[in-house]
Structures are given as C-alpha cells and as structure tokens.
Structure 1
C-alpha cells in the first residue's frame, strides 16, 4: 500500500459512479494525477444480472457489486429495511442502471414562477450548463432524437437508432393522439450482437456508465490510478481544509493525501461520510455549521402503466420512447414519461389486479381474490402483451426529509422520509394526466401505492451562493473548506423531472474544470500543466 500512502496526489476522488468516474476522467485528461478510491470491488467485465441481491450477507452483496448492507429507512414514521438499489463497486450504481441520460428542462434550473424556488434554487442556470450537457453527451455517446417540444433541441453525438416495428407503430399512434414522442436518449454504443444489458452489468462495455465512460478512459491516460475495496471511514480536516482521508482495506488502515478531494459517494453515502467526520472544528459534521448536510433528501416517484396498443404493437421490449408533454402542465411540476423496455403479460396483469383488490373494500373476502385469475388470463389472451411505461414524477425538497447516519456502523445507510400532502396531490394529478395521454389505447396502472425510486437519492448537500441556505458554493466546493468538492447527486437543489444521470455527469465535468482552474497557479509553477 506504500505506493498509495507515500504520494500526495493532485486529486483523490471518492466513488466511481457517474459523478466520480466523470470528474476523474476529466481531471486525468487535463494532466492531473488522480486516485480513484472505491468502496467495492472492480468486477471487470463480469456479467451480473441485477443489482438487487437476495441476501443480507455483506460479503455476498459486495461480491455482486451491491452496497454491503440493507438501507434502514423511516418511511412515514415506520422503520423498515430495503435494498435501495445502491451499488458498491467500480461504476457504482451506474454499472446496473438503465442508461437513460436526458437533460432537464430550462425552467428546472432557471428562476421563475414555475420553479419551486421562485427566487432561484440553482445558482448555475441552464444556458451556463448547456456546454457541460453537450460535453457529457459526447462522453456518454448519447443517441436518440431531439425532443420536438424543445425550442433549442439537443444535437446528440450519436445517430438515432433503428426502432422495433412495434415501437415505431406505437409512436405513430401517440402522434395521431396529439402527443410528441421521441427516441429516448440512451448512453450506449449499440454494437453488433449487443444484448439488452440495461438494468444489469454490461460485459462488452457497450453501455456507457461510470466505469466504461469514466474510470477506464481515465486509467488509459496514464494519469489515474484505481484503489478498489477501500472504504473511507473519515475525512480528516481542520477549520479550513481537508488534510487526509482515513481508509480501511483488507484490515489495514491507510492514510491518503491530496491537494484536492472530490466526494462522489452518492446522495446517501456522501452526507453520511460528512456527518461522521466531525471534529473540534466541525462538531456537527464537516460543512454542517447550518445543519444542512443530509437534509432536503429527494427521490422520484415511479408511476408504472401498462399500455395495450393492439395486436403486434406490444411485442418486444425496448427502451425507445420518451414524452415530455406532461413535464410541466398548468403550473404543475410532473416529469418525463418513458418506455421501460419491459412487457407485461398474464402474471403482471394478475399482480396489478391483486394489488388493487388488496386495497379495495372487498379485501376481507379473500376467496374472491382467487377469482381474479380468470379475467387476468382472458385480458392477456384478448389484448396480448402490453408495453410498460414509467412516469418520472419530480420530488421537491423538504428539510425534514434527511439522511441519518448510523454512528456505530459506517456500512449502514439510514434516512427519514415523509410523503408530503403536496406530493400525494401532484401524484394523483400526474396519474390522471397519464391516463388521458394514453387514452386511445387500453391502459392500466401496475400499482396503487406510491413507489419511491430509491436509486435516485439527491439534494442532501445542495449548492448555492448563500452559505446560510446551502452546503456547497456554485463550484460545488464545500463552504468553509477550501479543497473539498462534491460531484454526485447530492449537489442538486431540486430533483427535476428526468433521471438525474446526465445532470450529474455534466456538473461533474464543470466541477473538474473548476478544480483545474483553482490549481492552475501551482501547476504552472511546477510545470505540470498538460496544455
């Protein structure tokens, strides 16, 4: 381990997901020495079917690239354990993600009457972020079609894909109904013979994630090094800056040092580490002088709906279709509607019908539940298979929703979350809008209870210009710590109505260039600038 502990790196990046992998690649390409520190293992190009692990054993979970322990959550006052869909391995959660990378809307970032922070929650607006969105789209090889509702549509670097006939027919149906579908923006190189690896690890590196689009290109520069299976237990800091990291690897305690540090452990992991790292200078946790670290936790709500478009139009599973017609309607903040790349048949129909029955006034008459099998089978035979779509409903920040680190177990992520009345009301309105949007086709929601997307935690260390209301400054540097930056989803003041991956990647690129700019005088004096 001496090769890691004896050296003072230009930048140490904690975490190798979308944020960590992207910021590290950009820094390495700019000529800085980068050390990636990853809690989990480097699984290489091993194919693993899913991030969810049917085991609570930490070693079994880590071997599968999952966070070692189940997440403890207090949801609406009741404690439970859940998988959380959080990765721990090179690539982080992104190694298993669905690779949907879409830009937010301009009104998501810019202040105005439609913004949940009318005076401006994002210190960096959409036009300032546009170059970073474009660069991130190049890094992640984004393909798809421009959103026809976007007044300044994205110029995607990869050509549109050839759609399955069933998806093309369904898109025509939606256009005739007055909707504006387009090809979903996907982060993948669609190689000949490439299998559908969305939602699982990709053995051929065709899916672009934190590893394939970040860590591996960074290592190829010769300026980056990877230290996997290394858990950061504390960030050691004085009143103004970070001095070192205390880490554990194979039972050995390591001390790692750098000129700059980037925290990219995720919306739950990063604030947990900050809160555990308190000292006499920061008694309530690093950067936590105003009790904001870990607060304003947001997810997205997933509203899954099955669409029967007619015989032949439901065949095949493809993540091809997105729509933004419902994104922002009559002052309501909803979100994107996307195909999931999944189809529903008899089993899924029966599950949805059972779910509805279990919440109906008839639920006490259990024998009646068995009678649902016949109508479910008839529906599947008459209607054929359905395509599943998901509505991504924006969550809004509430200070009471927060990360609660376990003081006795650094591997245990914990949080408290209450479903607000406002979110429940918007959810009902969103579901009604989705029904109307698909009205030419038969449709059925696949669940009746709210489904939080626990893979999308964000907002727990928001950035802003005022230290009294934010943890990070506009460069995502922690207020009061001159050399600690954050490059994951925790920086986001709002969750927006799209998957957060592209926003995380774009901001990570911006943060990397801020770090290079801050180090320019030292590097120039040492003759180390790579340009």
Structure 2
C-alpha cells in the first residue's frame, strides 16, 4: 500500500483539500476513489491502523482483548447494547482499519429488488421512504457491479437487466448438488454475486483479509486505486472528534492523532464512518448553531436504526456432495416477498461452523440471560463451544436475511466515547420471523438442517438507517443527494443513508450510492 502519510503531517493539516473522506470502508473507499479519479485531491482519514498488506486475519469472534483486536483491524471496544430492555456489552463484527469491515466480509454484493426502493405503502417509513427510484439507482448499481468485478448468475426470478455481471467459474460439486435439491423443491437458486477476481484459491479470502487484493473490498477496490492516482493521501490512526461549521458549510474537521490535536479543512466532507459511528460524530458536533449536533434540529440523528435479523442454520449435505470447504455460492430469492410479507433472501455464508462462531453465539445468549451476572459465565462458554464445533462436523452454514423496518425509538448514541445503542424488536418483526423460519424449513425439505439461532438475533454487522435520506428536513437527516439538509458540503456515503434495510446485504447499495454521491460532488467542484 505504500506509506500511510505520503506528506508530512504538518503539510496535511496546512493543505485545503478538495475532499476529506472520514472512513475507508466500502462507502468511503468507493467515493474517495471516484473523486480522486475525477482529479480531486482526497484525504482519507481512518481511525484504525493501516496493518500489513500480507495479513490474512479473519473476523475472529473469539478475540476479546481490545489491544489484540485493534492490531488485527477489528473494532477494539465492546459496544453498549440495550436490546429488548436488556443491557449488555458485546464485541460487534466491525472493522477498524483500512477497508473497515469490508476486508473481513464474504464479498457477496447483491442488488436489491425494485420494490425495495419504489414501494413504501406496505411498510412504515418515518422518513417518507427512498427519495429516489430503482430506475435512478440502476446505472449506479451497474457501475458498482463492474467496479467490484462481480461474478455470478442472474437471478432466475428477476426481469431486471444486469449486464455488468460476469459469469462465475464452475460450481463446486457440493454447491451444484445443493442447488439441484433446491430446484427439486420448486425453488430458483442461483450463484451468488461475489466480488472476487477468481485468481488461484481466491475463494479462500472469503471472511478474512485478502493478502493479494483478489477480493474486492473498500481497501482493494477503493483506497488503493485512489492512492495510485497520486491525488489521494491516507491518514491512519486518526480519530475524528467533531466537525465545526459556519453557516451552510462545514469549515473544520477536528481530530486526534497520536495524542496530538489536529485540524483539517476541505471543500467537501464525506462522512463514511459507518451507521453506528457517523451519527455519533454529528451528535458530538455541537455549537450555538447546533446545540444538539449537526443535522439534529429535529432529533433524528441516530434514530431509525435497523439491522437484519439473521436466521442462521446448518445444512448437512452429506459426504456424497464432495465438499472440500464451506458452501460459498448458493442463494435464492423465492422467500424475498412471500405471502404479502417482506422477508428476505437466503444464502450460503461461505463458512463452516467453527469454534469462534459458536462461542460468539453462546456469549450472546449468556449476555441476554440472567447468567450474565454470574462471574465466569462468559468464559464458561468455551468448553461447550469446543464440543459443539466437533459435533457439527461437515455442516454448511446458511443465513436468511430478514428485512428490518425503521422505528424512531431504535437508535445509536455515544456513551463516553463508545458506541451505545437501544434496540427493541417490534411485534410485527417477530411475526415475520416466525413465517420466515417456516418457509426456510419447507425450502430445504428432504435435507438435514438445524437452526443455530433460537432467540431473535440482530445482524450487528448490517447496521443502517441512522442518517436516512428523505425529502423533508422534518422527517430525514439527508436530502436525496445524501447531503445533510441545510449544509452544502457535508455528504454521507455509508449505510446510515438507507431509509429501509431491504432484504439483501447492504454492500452493493452502499457502493452504488457512493458512486452516485461522488458524481454529484464532482459536478459541484
């Protein structure tokens, strides 16, 4: 990747940049690359460390030491989560380093359905719904598909063109067998849309950092190509603490690097710290003009927090399937909108059941129960997790992503510098969850399966909605261009912009919106 600071820090702080991009995940990396390639000077500001390009670190849920997590590029501190009235500390599956969480993802970038953006009458929208249509977003979906080198099969149930999608390599025998069994049950499986260049053993990068840049993520598809233009600089280990504005513009970015307080300035500010951190920065940016934070005149910053509910289950395809590793490429959308209910897609997770996943699951259950008050209860999960990992054997892990809806009382805030969130699972979500699980069982009839999630489990790696776009300042934080209402030069390109969570993972929509926003910014240079 080269030097983190290609200019002396004093020169960086003295320079007035065309754009400062706060965060280097998919939203920040993609926007920053587009801006740099358009000829703008870009400063990436990343809270985490640069790391070594040769790392192959995975998103290990069994690491609980903050220092060890920071070294590996994981979010170091536990978040404070009050879920259904129960308060707990937990390590969320979030990244803190160049590329953010995306360097650990399974590289599945799925396009939402047209009705996700176009239809709003069938679910509540405090923000008024998406302020732009699927047709308006489709060119940006295509551009993001090409930029992230997506391979996969077209969804057999879709009539939407997807010409930028490249054909996948031949399916593993095990995946081919699973797909054939699903077709026999009347379903329409397809090869997932995956951001891999398909170099030798490229699929081994799923769920871990890729040392060869064959997995396309916020680092390899965003930050690194931006740096290669010579128009961008990367500043790591730099924690942005607040923004200051004068009238309709943000004039200063205040940050802390290595114990030193620094001030940065730019014509445009791109906020891409993630749906759990971007709102915290706006809330911290108080002044006489903004007594409760920038963009928060109507107490909307941080509200309408959404996650998907994960319906994780194990599938035993049998030894005849011939698997040599996890199932990586099977998905279907037959349950996306079923019986007039918004559910979601079902897909392979690209992983087998391991010790880290089981201990994380058990710790979550302990944290939500009365056992959390017993000393040593968390550590006691290690033994059953080790036993469970052996018992699961050759099980393949699948997940159903159940769409969440926006509720104002679900929100993220800051508590002494740590992420704090309040989240209550709505009764209607519980009802849809029961229906989703019934449909999943029927979809895999004739195959041995077992749900690994029993209590509702929010996907803490898919937060969204906390700075939602809309048409009116009274009901949304951002306008249709993802710019904070009333501020000319403050833009947002992470998942916090989403008015709804949709029924697919958020990565492709984040990338597409980041390209769209960068294009608008380029027109205003």
* TM-score for both structures, normalised by structure 2: 0.89
> Which of 138, 150, 160 in structure 2 is aligned with 1:152?
160
- Contact 2:125–2:406 (8 Å) recurs in 1: no
Is 1:432 the counterpart of 2:438? The answer is yes
Corresponding residue for residue 63 of structure 1: 71
- Contact 1:303–1:393 (8 Å) recurs in 2: yes
Is 1:5 the counterpart of 2:5? The answer is no
* 1:58 Cα deviation from its structure 2 partner: 3.9
RMSD over aligned CA atoms reads 2.7
In the aligned structure 2, how far is the partner of 1:167 from the partner of 1:300?
Answer: 25
In the aligned structure 1, how far is the partner of 2:356 from the partner of 2:317?
Answer: 18
- Contact 1:42–1:89 (8 Å) recurs in 2: yes
Corresponding residue for residue 307 of structure 2: 299
In the aligned structure 1, how far is the partner of 2:17 from the partner of 2:63?
Answer: 37
- Contact 1:39–1:229 (8 Å) recurs in 2: yes
Corresponding residue for residue 421 of structure 2: 415
1:460 to 1:352, Cα distance in 2 relative to 1, 3 A: closer
Could you report, residue by residue, the CA deviation over 1:193-227 in whole angstroms, capped at 9, with x for unpaired residues? Answer: 43512111111111111000000000111111111
Aligned residue for 1:404, secondary structure, equals strand
* 1:445 Cα deviation from its structure 2 partner: 1.1
Could you report, residue by residue, the CA deviation over 1:58-108 in whole angstroms, capped at 9, with x for unpaired residues? Answer: 433221112231111111112111111111110001011111100011000
1:133 to 1:348, Cα distance in 2 relative to 1, 3 A: closer
Aligned positions of 1:76-475 closer than 5 A:
76-117=84-125, 121-194=129-202, 196-313=204-321, 315=323, 316-343=325-352, 385-406=394-415, 408-409=416-417, 412-475=418-481
* 1:342 Cα deviation from its structure 2 partner: 2.9
- Contact 2:126–2:406 (8 Å) recurs in 1: no
* 1:49 Cα deviation from its structure 2 partner: 2.8
Corresponding residue for residue 505 of structure 1: 511
* 1:52 Cα deviation from its structure 2 partner: 3.8
- Of structures 1 and 2, the larger Rg is shown by 1
Aligned positions of 1:30-45 closer than 5 A:
30-45=38-53
* 1:311 Cα deviation from its structure 2 partner: 3.7
Deviates more, 1:261-270 or 1:167-176: 167-176
* 1:347 Cα deviation from its structure 2 partner: 12
In the aligned structure 2, how far is the partner of 1:128 from the partner of 1:352?
Answer: 40
- Contact 2:58–2:207 (8 Å) recurs in 1: yes
* 1:113 Cα deviation from its structure 2 partner: 4.3
Aligned residue for 1:503, secondary structure, equals helix
Corresponding residue for residue 368 of structure 1: none
Corresponding residue for residue 520 of structure 2: 514
In the aligned structure 1, how far is the partner of 2:471 from the partner of 2:355?
Answer: 53
Aligned residue for 1:268, secondary structure, equals coil
* 1:404 Cα deviation from its structure 2 partner: 1.7
* 1:240 Cα deviation from its structure 2 partner: 1.7
Aligned residue for 2:320, secondary structure, equals coil
In the aligned structure 2, how far is the partner of 1:26 from the partner of 1:321?
Answer: 31
- Contact 2:141–2:512 (8 Å) recurs in 1: yes
In the aligned structure 2, how far is the partner of 1:350 from the partner of 1:8?
Answer: 48
Deviates more, 1:445-454 or 1:319-328: 445-454
Deviates more, 1:46-55 or 1:444-453: 46-55
Aligned residue for 1:80, secondary structure, equals strand
* 1:518 Cα deviation from its structure 2 partner: 1.6
Corresponding residue for residue 30 of structure 2: 22
- Contact 1:345–1:385 (8 Å) recurs in 2: no
Could you report, residue by residue, the CA deviation over 1:113-154 in whole angstroms, capped at 9, with x for unpaired residues? Answer: 445449950011101000000000111110000000001242
Aligned length: 496
1:175 to 1:468, Cα distance in 2 relative to 1, 3 A: same
1:348 to 1:514, Cα distance in 2 relative to 1, 3 A: closer
1:443 to 1:345, Cα distance in 2 relative to 1, 3 A: farther
* 1:157 Cα deviation from its structure 2 partner: 3.7
1:116 to 1:149, Cα distance in 2 relative to 1, 3 A: farther
Deviates more, 1:123-132 or 1:66-75: 66-75
* 1:286 Cα deviation from its structure 2 partner: 0.5
Deviates more, 1:493-502 or 1:59-68: 59-68
Gap runs ≥5 in structure 2: 1-8, 369-383
Is 1:490 the counterpart of 2:490? The answer is no
Aligned residue for 1:298, secondary structure, equals coil
In the aligned structure 1, how far is the partner of 2:302 from the partner of 2:78?
Answer: 19
- Contact 2:127–2:469 (8 Å) recurs in 1: no
In the aligned structure 1, how far is the partner of 2:68 from the partner of 2:361?
Answer: 32
Aligned residue for 1:303, secondary structure, equals strand
Could you report, residue by residue, the CA deviation over 1:454-482 in whole angstroms, capped at 9, with x for unpaired residues? Answer: 01110000001111100000001100111
In the aligned structure 1, how far is the partner of 2:435 from the partner of 2:113?
Answer: 20
Deviates more, 1:54-63 or 1:471-480: 54-63
* 1:450 Cα deviation from its structure 2 partner: 1.3
